[in-house]
C-alpha cells in the first residue's frame, strides 16, 4: 500500500465532519492559486485541491503545473499533475470511478 492508498484508507474511515475538516486543510495548503494555469473562474468559485476533490466546472489551459512542489502532493503521495484538467489522483490512476466525497 503506497502513501496515497494509505491516505485514501484514512479518508474512508473519517466521519463527515472529519472530511470537512480535512478538506479545509487541503484547500489552505493547496498551491494552485500561485500556479500560472489557475484562473479567475476557479478563484471566483474557490475551487482548490483538485487532486483530491476532483475537477470543478471551470476550464483550464496548460500553462504549467506546480503540484509537484505542493505540500499536499508530498503528504498524499501524489504522482501526477494538472489535476484541474485531468481530475483527481484516484481517477487519474484509473482505480475506478469512485470519487472522494468532499467536505464543504
Ligand atoms: S497537489 Fe496540486 S491540486 Fe493538489 S492541493 Fe497541491 S497544488 Fe492543489
Ligand atoms: S492542478 Fe496543477 S495546473 Fe492545475 S491549477 Fe493546480 S497547480 Fe496549476
In SS3 terms, 73-90 reads as HHHHCCCCCCHHHHCCHH
pTM confidence score: 0.90
Distance 2 CA to ligand 2 centre (A): 23
What pLDDT is stored for residue 1 in this prediction? Answer: 87
- Ligand that lies nearest to the alpha carbon of residue 63, given by its number in the listed order: 2
pLDDT in tens, 26-45: 999 999 999 999 999 999 99
Q: What confidence tier does 100 reach under pLDDT thresholds 50, 70, 90?
A: low
- Answer whether residue 99 shows pLDDT above 80: no
Task: Find the largest Cα–Cα distance for the chain.
Answer: 37
Closest-lying ligand 2 atom to the alpha carbon of residue 66: 7
pLDDT in tens, 81-93: 999 999 999 989 8
Which amino acid residue places its CA nearest to atom 6 of ligand 2? 32
Among 57, 47, 45, 10, CA closest to 26: 47
Domain regions of the chain by residue span: 3-92
The phi and psi torsions of 16 (rounded to 5 degrees) equal -60, -40
What pLDDT is stored for residue 38 in this prediction? Answer: 98
Residue with cell 500553462: 63
Amino acid at each position: 500500500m503506497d502513501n496515497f492508498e494509505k491516505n485514501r484508507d484514512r479518508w474512508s474511515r473519517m466521519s463527515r465532519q472529519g472530511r470537512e475538516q480535512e478538506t479545509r486543510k487541503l484547500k489552505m495548503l493547496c498551491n494552485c492559486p500561485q500556479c500560472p494555469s489557475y484562473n479567475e473562474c476557479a478563484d471566483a468559485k474557490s475551487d482548490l485541491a483538485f487532486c483530491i476533490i476532483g475537477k470543478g466546472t471551470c476550464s483550464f489551459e496548460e500553462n504549467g503545473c506546480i503540484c509537484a512542489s505542493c505540500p499536499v502532493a508530498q503528504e498524499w503521495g501524489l504522482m501526477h499533475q494538472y489535476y484541474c484538467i485531468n481530475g483527481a489522483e484516484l481517477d487519474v490512476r484509473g482505480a475506478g470511478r469512485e470519487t472522494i466525497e468532499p467536505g464543504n
